[in-house]
A and B are shown apart, each in its own frame.
Chain A
């Protein structure tokens, strides 16, 4: 039985989603969502919505109760905001909205006005193909298989003795008709790979890692939402670079110096070995505090970028996290060299609040 209330209830949920959307900036910087996957439900607590009315401020007000107790006997602590205890006040409700991560990513896309990313080559990572594979007895007339229909009619007429070879007139009836049938197949047309590179040198503190983690997570979620069959690779580096899995990427802490070129070299090798640019859409996100070891290395990085990485990638994003240590010069070097190159996007992320805008900057181009 469908209740009348269902439509009101659905509307209410819609409003809650609207609330989440309003404060999305706040929710996406919360760390605990990280590690969830697409269809998983996440529940987001939001402040209760109510219709405002002129009413008394019952916080800290007197009330009447009943029972034992001397004057001065405590009835229990007041709640944080002072609500809920006094009189016949209605309790404060906490609302929770349940939604899937995909929905959140969708919302994020809408809020940030992220374009649907267009990979080079074909439109979609997977494309649907129709192939005529069989015959069936019903279908649209446009797909009628003449030969098979003729054969079926002929056979029927011969069996029933209605076939007269002096006047070979074949009249198909409905049972004789045969139609082509098809199967849809999904075949990968083009592939996408995201390579995340993170600086884990000693100057990257927990706070910086958290920022990187959150930002990488949302970028990953958004891109996964856009494409199915997306691949990810993770590279961490200090003075040397390693390819690691997702777990290690987020949790490793090294303490060495920083040689960004090591990561770029490894990244380049990885692309050449596994992801030839002809077949792959390549996205690279590099997060660092921008404190490179020495001038030589930065020059080497720029050369690598210019000659190898940028031509191979759809997009190369560099996010610089602010760190108490270190000079953060790398971003300026990049700016100096590639001011007008659209394949390179840089962004400075001073604090968790800047993640939102940084994502917009990275993905807003729609490459």
Chain B
């Protein structure tokens, strides 16, 4: 439903404030929805139309239950799209609406300007609707159960993507021509330029050249035997290209992959995105939009957004405090070599060069950082102390979680670990012709945390139906390297 004229006027007013503050956003279309519609949109990942699948129904069930029991309430949803669609809950008070409208504009600015969103499809609402239409068509043609089954399998591997491949070209997009393939590969070692001909044997000694040539030929031979030539992190792409799929299956897998890449930047920038939106709603409200009478309600709502949790990091809280901290530090010049080397704590605290660079800095940060390098670059020991961050660990003796460490280094390491690869394990396609039997070998790059083996088993089973041949995963379980396999007979584990 369209928003009322009153609300439209308020949105217009806040849009003005947001523009004055320097926010730069897509055109934003507000709609007002009731709780059922809100829950529906939220279960569909923010979109009005998705392909038919029970997982959305499951989400909806949870949302409805949890809303009924008063466990959650969604104030707004906003979609990274041009134009940006924002859904406001019709049960919000006016002051809440003001707050979330300001919040929405900041999100929208973030979507538009953050580097990690640069390659996302800005017409995703349309694209999602297209996906829905295609999946429905396949379901009608090939059978609902068949298509649903296949979708289940695809969704089971939808986190096996290479999040950076949107921005980095890992391999040539053009395939080598047929002619080029027929000619035997002749590696030529690099020759260094020699100004004088008589110096050449010294600058490019023949035996070194020969050795280099042999090494390269050997490498080429090794690579030929390997398929893919290099470990491939974009498992979905690999499957699309090499799994023996029917055209409709390949199309569905491509859709799942496309959607996974669309959502990945949001998972990569959760702390920053929420922090940024909270920073701006708070600033716009307190400095411009708020009337005196609304102050208490605003404070109440705002504080419930940024409350700190003992056993979980609140991305809103962490994000907004970091942005504020950065603004203050760059305003006062608390950065750079001189500041970093200053060991006098008191001097550091009172450090103020009156630079006034804060605002410019946070705009830069919102443009070029994601959560990982955001935390890496701006989480300081002072911040950590001030905000009482700690690491907790499980204590076996009493079956409880306990605070285990307040050291800056451990806290930072722990946060970064959790954010690495947006919280997903690194899985590579190692070999597409494993044991020369057309089997698929994946490798889990173990970085300290084991995989859930019950899930891993089911994923391997799903993969084996996509690949149609046995599938293996090399990983580490309880410190021992293991090969988990799903072969025709069933699931197997063996030590490597």
Q: State the A residues within 8 Å of B (CB).
A: 3-5, 7-13, 15, 49, 51-58, 60-78, 82, 85-88, 93, 95
- A11 touches which of B39, B57, B317 (Cβ 8 Å): B57
- B56 touches which of A8, A58, A76, A95 (Cβ 8 Å): A8
Contacts of B305 in A (CB 8 A): none
Query: B80-88, B173-181, B189-197, B454-462: which one contacts chain A?
Result: B454-462
- Provide the B429-469 mask, 1 if CB < 8 A to any CB of A, else 0: 00000000000000010000111111111110010000000
Q: Are B60 and A8 in contact (CB under 8 A)?
A: yes
Contacts of A49 in B (CB 8 A): 58
Q: Are A8 and B309 in contact (CB under 8 A)?
A: no
Q: Are A69 and B390 in contact (CB under 8 A)?
A: yes
Cα-based distance from A93 to B318 in the complex (angstroms): 27
Which 8 pairs between the two chains have the least Cβ-Cβ distance?
A12-B57, A52-B458, A8-B57, A9-B57, A60-B394, A66-B308, A5-B40, A12-B54
Cα-based distance from A56 to B425 in the complex (angstroms): 7
Say yes or no: is B157 at the interface (Cβ < 8 Å to chain A). yes
- B310 touches which of A7, A62, A66, A71 (Cβ 8 Å): A66
Q: Are B424 and A75 in contact (CB under 8 A)?
A: no
- B451 touches which of A5, A56, A63, A67 (Cβ 8 Å): A56
Cα-based distance from A305 to B403 in the complex (angstroms): 74
Please tell me the size bucket of the interface on B. 35 or more
Q: Are B314 and A78 in contact (CB under 8 A)?
A: no
Say yes or no: is B312 at the interface (Cβ < 8 Å to chain A). yes
Contacts of B403 in A (CB 8 A): 65, 69-73, 75
- Provide the B35-78 mask, 1 if CB < 8 A to any CB of A, else 0: 01101100110001100111111101110000000000000000
List 23 A-B pairs, Cβ < 8 Å. Answer: A3-B36, A3-B40, A11-B57, A49-B58, A51-B152, A52-B456, A52-B457, A52-B458, A53-B158, A55-B159, A55-B455, A57-B450, A61-B449, A62-B394, A64-B313, A65-B313, A66-B318, A67-B309, A67-B388, A72-B403, A77-B399, A85-B311, A93-B62
The residue among B160, B310, B395, B423 with the most chain A CB atoms within 10 A of its own CB is B310
Are A8 and B53 CB-contacts (below 8 A) given A71-B406, A85-B401? yes
Say yes or no: is B167 at the interface (Cβ < 8 Å to chain A). no
Are A88 and B313 CB-contacts (below 8 A) given A12-B54, A13-B57, A66-B388? yes
- A87 touches which of B58, B312, B404, B452 (Cβ 8 Å): B312
Contacts of B414 in A (CB 8 A): 62-64
Q: Is the interface of B mostly helix, strand, loop or mixed?
A: mixed
- When A and B form their complex, what is the total count of cross-chain residue pairs whose Cβ atoms lie within 8 Å? 197
Say yes or no: is B391 at the interface (Cβ < 8 Å to chain A). yes
Q: Is the interface of A mostly helix, strand, loop or mixed?
A: loop
Say yes or no: is B264 at the interface (Cβ < 8 Å to chain A). no
B408-431 CB contacts (< 8 Å) to partner A? 411, 414-415, 418, 423-425, 427
Contacts of A76 in B (CB 8 A): 311, 400-401
- B156 touches which of A3, A51, A60 (Cβ 8 Å): A51
The residue among A3, A5, A76 with the most chain B CB atoms within 10 A of its own CB is A5
Cα-based distance from A74 to B318 in the complex (angstroms): 22
Cα-based distance from A364 to B455 in the complex (angstroms): 39
Say yes or no: is B297 at the interface (Cβ < 8 Å to chain A). no
Q: Are B156 and A63 in contact (CB under 8 A)?
A: no
Contacts of B390 in A (CB 8 A): 64-67, 69, 71
Q: Are B425 and A62 in contact (CB under 8 A)?
A: no
Contacts of A64 in B (CB 8 A): 313, 389-392, 411, 414-415, 418
